[in-house]
Structure 1
């Protein structure tokens, strides 16, 4: 079952990598679609199939995995799948003569409790599966928010990114100071009734600062990477998308992944504070 976990995560990331700006995409022999159905006809051969919010019908051959998020998977009698078949939020319908080289995983409301019980058992290596799905869910939420923020408010993100790039030391120091002062400030607010009411506001400000800063860090990383790849004028949306993808992948590296994320959070928070949420460019003034 460990292979199922890795397959789901990698295939979802494949969908993000190959389809950042379209509702559906076909790259090579991989098929990724969002909001529409996929039909692999008899005689057709593809590498992998991923769909979000649609049905997958396989009558041909799929070399690796078939993954449906929020939709069913139908394997006809002529279907041949070399890897795993996964349906999250749907059902798997398989004909008698269909061939599947891997495992069948069906997670929906009818077997959610059994799936959760299996996830915390040794069969799926306990909580690693749950943590992986939680991490992926949080990342997808951040990615969607990042795309909206960059599309609607590109200037604040650009200002924070420039502050991080051009005045890194000041940004890092402000980020560390900001993190250190979060708890003492909350403690001071508890002294009065009015202060207690302001604690949620402090938390909102901190979360928004970290989110804006983290997005700016991703945009900066994406800009540097695309520049190295000699991609002219990629645009902030693409820079942010690829930068966050890279950050998420690095976060899965053993030992150093969490440290890279922590540094990104500190630097991002510092950038947001120095620029006053991307509205101030006083950091450009020479000392």
Structure 2
């Protein structure tokens, strides 16, 4: 069992070091998963081919190669995958990162998507705004709010109740399409840049922020599943001796970096240097996950509510990313959270080594 867990953690390190948007698509190999019974709770799933064929009374967070959602979701949908098809109804917001997204059902609120291709089929509806970055968009359904973002090519065939404010190479409006607000298009800026990007807070920043959140969230759930007791212990004692832990975290990170550099001097040491680098990446992710879980726990304590550690982590990581996005001081938040949590990891490992049987 210990070997199996170590193998999974090592694979996770490799995936995190590569840093693609869909790093966890192959986490469960080519395994398929199908949900057939109604679930009255939030659902977090990962696999090769995912079929959601029942209703979910909660949020759905999912990543996979091919994702098909046939049931209705009463909460939000957060998904990352190669091909995603939404055939059921989503009551709230949708956040998508995919190669191809097809929407056949009804979305209750906003949709934010970063995709190669988006298809909003006829009779499908989006109850709020559609904000997207995509090469091709075929919008045959209705959008109750605004349409904005970066579109290589866009075809409008349905009704847009708000404005159409897009950066696009080509926009085609079909005879049956109606746009009730103003239509604003631009090709003056380079691909992927919006006006607000010039100040660093544009649409693509939002997309990358969303992808970072999904990556951290999925990583956190996997690590929490594999090492629940250790993560809980580090979170509980995170603020004990904060100065000592911050210093320990700084020295630990510097030690790993210096060790990696020293090992690259020889050919034999390069594999060990790579291993240290993967450990460094893994520790940085763990540090943010521990800090996020701590923030989530504190928030729910202040609200006087009890909930699951999974929800605490989801909320806490969200807050951590928001704090880290604040201009000028965000990097300080990240630095303190990372060093303090890394120090907590160091102290836990030190304690385990000290009490290990001889």
- 2:258 aligned to 175, 178, 184, which one? 184
Seen in structure 2, the aligned counterparts of structure 1 residues 36 and 177 have a Cα distance that, compared at 3 Å, is same
What's 2:352 paired with?
A: 280
Asked if the contact 1:219/1:236 (under 8 Å) is kept, the reply is yes
What displacement does 1:245 show?
0.3
Distance 1:126 1:253 in 2: 13
- 2:129 aligned to 65, 68, 82, which one? 65
Distance 1:184 1:133 in 2: 34
Seen in structure 2, the aligned counterparts of structure 1 residues 184 and 82 have a Cα distance that, compared at 3 Å, is closer
CA-to-partner distance for each residue in 1:92-134, whole Å, 9 max, x for gaps? 5423765541324679xxxxxx999333587852876455544
- 1:245 aligned to 311, 315, 318, which one? 318
What displacement does 1:193 show?
4.0
1:168 equivalent in alignment to 2:168: no
What displacement does 1:276 show?
1.7
The higher-RCO structure (CA 8 Å, 6+ apart) is 1
TM-score, reference length from structure 2: 0.56
CA-to-partner distance for each residue in 1:16-61, whole Å, 9 max, x for gaps? 9x836687334797443878845459xxxx6534579985457698
Distance 2:330 2:227 in 1: 29
- Larger strand percent: 2
Q: Which runs of 5+ in 1 are unaligned?
A: 1-15, 108-113
Q: RMSD between aligned alpha carbons?
A: 4.2
Q: Which moved more, 1:80-89 or 1:242-251?
A: 80-89
SS in 2 for 1:276: helix
- Larger helix percent: 1
Distance 1:85 1:58 in 2: 20
What's 2:139 paired with?
A: 74
CA-to-partner distance for each residue in 1:211-242, whole Å, 9 max, x for gaps? 2222111111100001111112x121111111
Q: Which runs of 5+ in 2 are unaligned?
A: 1-43, 45-57, 63-68, 77-89, 170-186
- 1:148 aligned to 209, 222, 226, which one? 222
TM-score, reference length from structure 1: 0.67
Distance 2:197 2:247 in 1: 42
- 2:74 aligned to 5, 8, 25, which one? 25
SS in 2 for 1:119: coil
Aligned length, in residue pairs: 252
Distance 2:125 2:261 in 1: 61
What's 2:328 paired with?
A: 255
Asked if the contact 1:213/1:265 (under 8 Å) is kept, the reply is yes
What's 1:102 paired with?
A: 164
Asked if the contact 2:295/2:316 (under 8 Å) is kept, the reply is yes
| Pairing of 1:78-227 with structure 2 (within 5 A) | 79=142, 81-85=144-148, 92-95=154-157, 99-104=161-166, 117-119=190-192, 124-125=197-198, 129=202, 130-227=204-301
What displacement does 1:266 show?
0.9
Distance 1:97 1:128 in 2: 29
Asked if the contact 1:69/1:88 (under 8 Å) is kept, the reply is yes
